[in-house]
Amino acid sequence: MELADAPDPRLCHARHILDRVGDKWSISVIYSLGATTLRFTELRRAIDGISQRMLTSTLRTLERDGLVERTVHPVVPPRVDYRLTKLGLTLSETVCALMNWAVDHSGEIDEARAAYDRRADHQPVSAPAHPR
Amino acid sequence: MELADAPDPRLCHARHILDRVGDKWSISVIYSLGATTLRFTELRRAIDGISQRMLTSTLRTLERDGLVERTVHPVVPPRVDYRLTKLGLTLSETVCALMNWAVDHSGEIDEARAAYDRRADHQPVSAPAHPR
DNA sequence: CAGAATCCAGCCGGATACTG
DNA sequence: CAGTATCCGGCTGGATTCTG
């Protein structure tokens, strides 16, 4: 009986978690928060290119997953603080490692991409879907 | 001059890399390959739920980024082997750490989600976009 | 077996406008 | 300030069919 290349159940289940983590904005939020506390607008400014809609929804999801803690201060004007929970902090370590890897090897990846594109014996990677 | 919460340039640039890595299928592919060599169909079976279209395009992108090496054997029927490059292997360490984190804490996250959904003082996380 | 090509539904996510 | 609500274009990605 061939169990050899059966779907890895660990991998399967983990995918539900990683779908969140893999989200490009979640990574940025977790990385930006780190060990500090930030307000909504501070996060918005810290993460270049994120829309308020995406920031809201990303924060909501992270809060639901128990990774981010949301604190509303009943003052006017409103003030809401976000910070990583204990669980979120453990994840942030791994996320930082990933981020550091990306920074450390971005040069190699850029080179590899350029070299790949220079060679002509391949299909264009961008546009496998709608070449028109 | 307020540099305090300016966009982190490291974060900005890294996002281009992480967009690839953060892709849910890339993580699974890198994780599945690990230190071994797999054929197209073996990968397909190992990664539950992936379509051949997504596997092809994911592998192509990883190859372009210099993370995966593609070896075509001129035999019939065709045989194509995929394995991580040296660069890909360094990434796989971090990816494994992420995967392990997900496995180790999936229980806590599931609990957090359930607890969040049990409380009624929140907006439904799913459907912030098209409630219709 | 390892893909390429095509079709197309669904959701992602940006832009914008409005509230407490 | 910290969101919510709505509109909607575009890309993602699944299903299917067809080759060398």
Q: Say which residue, B8 or B34, is predicted with more confidence.
A: B34
Please report, in angstroms and rounded to a whole number, the separation of the first and last CA atoms in chain A.
45
- Would the pLDDT of B1 be above 60? no
CA B89 to CA A120: how far, in whole Å?
26
Query: B128 falls in which pLDDT band (50, 70, 90)?
Result: very low
Q: Is the peptide bond before A77 cis (omega within 30 degrees of 0)?
A: yes
A 36-75 residues with CB < 8 A to B: 38, 42, 45-49, 53, 56-57, 60-61, 63-67
pLDDT recorded at residue B93: 95
In a mutational test of the A interface, the residue from B12, B13, B20, B21 whose CB has the highest number of chain A CBs within 10 Å is B21
Question: Partners of B71 in the beta sheet?
Answer: B81
- Determine contact, residues A113/B64, Cβ cutoff 8 Å: yes
Instruction: Give, in Å, how far the C1' of C7 lies from the CA of B19.
Output: 27
Q: What is the pLDDT of residues A89-119, one digit of tens each?
A: 999 999 999 888 988 998 999 999 999 999 8
pLDDT recorded at residue B3: 43
Question: Partners of A38 in the beta sheet?
Answer: A82
Q: What's the pTM value of the predicted model, to 2 decimals?
A: 0.87
Instruction: Please give the torsion angle defined by the CA atoms of residues A13, B89, B9 and A33, in that order, rounded to the nearest 10 degrees.
Output: 40
Instruction: Give, in Å, how far the C1' of C19 lies from the CA of B62.
Output: 46
CA A114 to CA A129: how far, in whole Å?
21
Instruction: Give, in Å, how far the C1' of D5 lies from the CA of B129.
Output: 9
Out of A60-69, B104-113, B119-128, pick the least confident: B119-128
Is the C-beta atom of A49 closer than 7 angstroms to strand C? yes
pLDDT recorded at residue A11: 67
Q: What percent of chain A has pLDDT over 70?
A: 80
Is the C-beta atom of B56 closer than 7 angstroms to strand C? yes
- Would the pLDDT of A82 be above 90? yes
DSSP codes, B76-130: SS-EEEEEE-HHHHHHHHHHHHHHHHHHHHHHHHHHHHHHHHH--SS--SS-SS-
The answer to whether residue B2 neighbours chain A at the CB level (below 8 Å) is no
pLDDT recorded at residue B129: 38
- Determine contact, residues A90/B105, Cβ cutoff 8 Å: yes
- What's phi and psi for B113, nearest 5 deg? -65, -45
Query: B130 falls in which pLDDT band (50, 70, 90)?
Result: very low
Among the partner-chain residues A5, A38, A94, the one whose CB lies closest to the CB of B97 is A94
pLDDT recorded at residue A13: 72
CA A112 to CA A105: how far, in whole Å?
11
Output the six-digit token pair for B40: 């197209």
